[in-house]
Structure 1
Amino acid sequence: MPDNEFGYTAWGMDWVRLAEPLRTTRPDPLLPRARSIARNGGVHTEIDGTAVRASIHRGSQASITYLELAPLSPETITAITTRIPTDTVELGDDTHVSLRAAGITVAPTLHLTDCSCTARTPRCLHLLATCYALARQIDENPWLALDLQGYHSSTAEQSPTNETPVPRWTPITSLDPATFFGVAT
């Protein structure tokens, strides 16, 4: 049995570091409760590409937490592809170490977070519990760490013509009210 129930692989520890950054100067009082929620199955995740939607149930309260991760750059994906053999079934800690030794960072970067709770802070209890739950899932399947950052989706597409990502929102000023609703004047 590993000493730490979350992040006992190098891949999962990257996710634990989102909840427990090394640069903190004081203990976070939310961490024990977040670990307890994740440990007791209170986090149910739905993964869609680089986005994670988590439903957290604690007592009579329920919250929805949304995480979106920054995708890996095409250069990073190419560098990872050259260092991981195509017939690799399971990623071990040695692969993580070799990628870091080559200067390739595979640690996740949060692009967007949102939670339906009333805390209104970027690091609420539900976000931390989601990070712990994902760390546990990644400990079981390290490929998920790369998939959440768009590794397999981008290697399957390989479309160099579409360099710019599709914008997430459409500015309201870019819409023409005369033609938007299809009403001819």
Structure 2
Amino acid sequence: MADNEFGYTKWGMDWVRLAEPIRQTRPDPLLPRARSVARNGGVQITIEGRVVRAAIHRGNEASVTHLEVAPLPRAAITAIGELIPDTAVLTDEMHQAVVAAGVTLAPVLAGTDCSCKARSARCLHVLAVFYDMARRVDENPRLALEVQGYFRGAQDDSPVAAEVPRWVPINALDPADYFGELSPTPA
């Protein structure tokens, strides 16, 4: 397994499985191109909390891809904290121990978006981001937990994680609060 280009650790393989699910019954023609884009530095990723934003350059085309990773449940955070007291160095054996305890470490996507014309949740650009994230997680397995909100959730004292809504209804906004105090215009 060490000769795999992407996902040579169990932590990174979780990201590869997003691109190459085991239940897939036929070859996906986009996967070789997505691996090529990720391999050749065509993906520039910025990670902010549980949101992964990527600018992808392929030839003369450019796309912006947005992935939102669902947070780990409180029970999973607690179980991981008990099984791995020190997360400074994460090994494949630690991954196996957590999975054997019944905790799912694989990332779950809360949403994906891409600016390309394919308008698909599994476009070339999203797949390239999966591979690039697998490479990054292989290099730094802590990123696998960080992007799922483990470290933020482990510091939180509340037993239930508060979910921040992705969208705010327009009628929930107060114009005075949103725009600040509107001063009257002189007549």
Q: Where does residue 3 of structure 1 map in the other structure?
A: 3
Q: What is the total number of aligned residue pairs between the two structures?
A: 183
Q: Where does residue 147 of structure 1 map in the other structure?
A: 146
TM-score, reference length from structure 1: 0.91
The answer to whether structure 1 residue 63 and structure 2 residue 63 are counterparts is yes
From the superposition, tell whether residues 179 and 106 of structure 1 become closer, same or farther in structure 2 (CA, over 3 Å).
closer
Unpaired stretches in structure 2, ≥5 consecutive residues:
none
Q: What SS does the corresponding residue of 2:26 show, helix, strand or coil?
A: coil
From the superposition, tell whether residues 48 and 173 of structure 1 become closer, same or farther in structure 2 (CA, over 3 Å).
same
TM-score, reference length from structure 2: 0.90
Shift of 1:114: 0.3
From the superposition, tell whether residues 176 and 54 of structure 1 become closer, same or farther in structure 2 (CA, over 3 Å).
closer
Question: Distance between the aligned counterparts of 1:30 and 1:13, measured in 2?
Answer: 18
Contact 1:178 1:184 in 2 (8 A): no
Q: Where does residue 101 of structure 1 map in the other structure?
A: 100
1:58-117 alpha-carbon deviations (Å, 9 max, x no partner): 11111110000000011110110011023x421110001000110011000011100010
Shift of 1:177: 5.9
Identity of aligned residues (%): 60
Contact 2:74 2:161 in 1 (8 A): no
1:12-70 alpha-carbon deviations (Å, 9 max, x no partner): 00000000001111100000000000001110100001000011001111111000000
Question: Distance between the aligned counterparts of 1:94 and 1:163, measured in 2?
Answer: 28
Aligned-partner residue type, residue 151 of structure 1: Y
Q: Counterparts in 2 of 1:170-181, with a 5 A limit? A: 170-175=168-173
Unpaired stretches in structure 1, ≥5 consecutive residues:
none
Q: Counterparts in 2 of 1:45-84, with a 5 A limit? A: 45-84=45-84
Question: Superposition RMSD on alpha carbons, in Å?
Answer: 2.0
